[in-house]
């Protein structure tokens, strides 16, 4: 194993635009799959580390497509008989690439499905209005049903954790556990009003054309990958503007499934105080805290997180 720096990223909306709130910087599943329930969720663990640890190479399965809302929903699926299933949900923005190192680290002991939410990666989208939690969660549930998955452990990175919490709360028969990686805190880390003001004019095509060069520069300065499309940058602002933190807080605190939370103290996007309060609010959730690793712990600490996930099946 060797250390690698993170390369892809979930957008730091508060860093990107300096808007602050004062808190600081297809297989049939009729074949019974294995369960991820187990003792690893029952104890807390704190893992201070100075370096990063990822596999030598990532895993990049080919994208598949499922018809959804008159368009297509892109995903990858590595399915194994009688194996527990992880279903991974990216943040804002994001794609299946966000979990390429984690899938490699988990290895061949689980099935691994990754979804691209509408408008991101190669999934289509027809509106520049913000997608609510319910809209994004519907895509996850639809994909799980289309693959005939009986039960999954959801893995959410950053804003993907919001979606996972909603699915777990409203579809407990599907979700046996949740893994939250660098999740948003229970209170917003950016100014919703400012994002609404910014996102509304971006619904206009001429405004998007004019704003595109500035948004490209802002995202580049914030350290996000160059392969993001202009539309993805706008979708990110729109979706963040309608994210309901009150509902998110209620749904997270109502979860009854086993939970795992992992974050890094040097995350520039989600202040650690919010991460710690989030983890503490979950009571008996397993906590993995890293001294370093940034916002993309599913990459910088793929090996350690994979070890914790594998423990769920013991």
Q: How many residues does the chain have?
A: 314
Domain span holding position 294: 13-311
Q: How many domains are contained in the chain?
A: 1
Burial class (CB within 10 angstroms; exposed 0-12, middle 13-18, buried 19+) of 192: middle
User: Does residue 270 belong to any structural domain of this protein?
Assistant: yes
pLDDT score for 312: 59
**Residue 213 exposed, middle or buried by CB count within 10 Å (0-12, 13-18, 19+):** exposed
Burial class (CB in 10 A: 0-12, 13-18, 19+), 275: buried
4 within some domain: no
- Label residue 109 by pLDDT band (50, 70, 90): confident
pLDDT at 252 over 90: yes
Res. 129: pLDDT tops 70: yes
- Residue 37: inside a domain: yes
Pairwise pLDDT comparison (279 vs 312), residue with the higher score: 279
Q: Confirm whether 8 is domain-assigned.
A: no
CB 300 within 8 A of CB 288: no
In a domain, residue 22? The reply is yes
Closest CA to 222 of 264, 160, 268, 254: 268
CATH of the domain at 179: 3.40.50.1820
Model-level pTM? 0.85
- Mean pLDDT to the nearest integer, 273-293: 92
- The answer to the question of residue 178 being in a domain is yes
Residue 181 Cα distances to 56, 259, 267, 296, angstroms: 21, 11, 11, 8
The region of weakest confidence among 133-137, 193-197, 257-261, 293-297 is 193-197
- 3 inside domain: no
Query: Which one has a higher pLDDT value, 152 or 26?
Result: 152
Report yes or no on 166 lying in a domain.
yes
Mean pLDDT for 117-130 is 96
């Amino acid at each position: 194993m060797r250390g690698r720096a993170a390369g892809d990223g979930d957008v730091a909306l508060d860093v990107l635009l300096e808007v602050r709130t004062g808190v600081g910087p297809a297989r049939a599943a009729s074949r019974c799959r294995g369960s991820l329930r187990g003792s690893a969720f029952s104890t807390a663990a704190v893992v201070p580390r100075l370096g990063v640890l990822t596999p030598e190479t990532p895993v990049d399965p080919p994208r598949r497509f499922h018809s959804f809302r008159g368009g297509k929903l892109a995903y990858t699926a590595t399915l194994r008989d009688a194996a527990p299933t992880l279903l991974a949900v990216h943040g804002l923005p994001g794609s299946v690439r966000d979990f390429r190192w984690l899938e490699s680290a988990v290895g061949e002991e689980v099935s691994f499905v990754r979804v691209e939410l509408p408008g991101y990666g190669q999934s289509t989208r027809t509106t520049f209005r913000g997608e609510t939690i319910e809209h994004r969660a519907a895509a996850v549930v639809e994909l799980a049903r289309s693959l005939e998955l009986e039960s999954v452990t959801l893995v959410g990175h950053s804003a993907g954790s919001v979606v996972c919490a909603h699915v777990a709360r409203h579809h407990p028969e599907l979700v046996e556990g949740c893994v939250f990686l660098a999740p948003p805190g229970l209170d917003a880390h950016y100014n919703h009003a400012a994002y609404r003001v910014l996102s509304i004019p971006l619904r206009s095509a001429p405004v998007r054309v004019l704003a595109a060069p500035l948004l490209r520069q802002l995202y580049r300065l914030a350290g996000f990958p160059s392969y993001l499309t202009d539309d993805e940058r706008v979708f990110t602002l729109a979706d963040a503007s309608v994210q309901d933190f009150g509902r998110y807080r209620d749904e997270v605190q109502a979860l009854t499934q086993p939970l795992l939370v992992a974050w890094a103290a040097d995350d520039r996007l989600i202040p650690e105080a919010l991460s710690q309060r989030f983890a503490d609010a979950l009571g008996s959730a397993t906590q993995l805290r890293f001294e370093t690793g940034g916002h993309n712990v599913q990459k910088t600490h793929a090996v350690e997180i994979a070890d914790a996930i594998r423990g769920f099946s013991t």
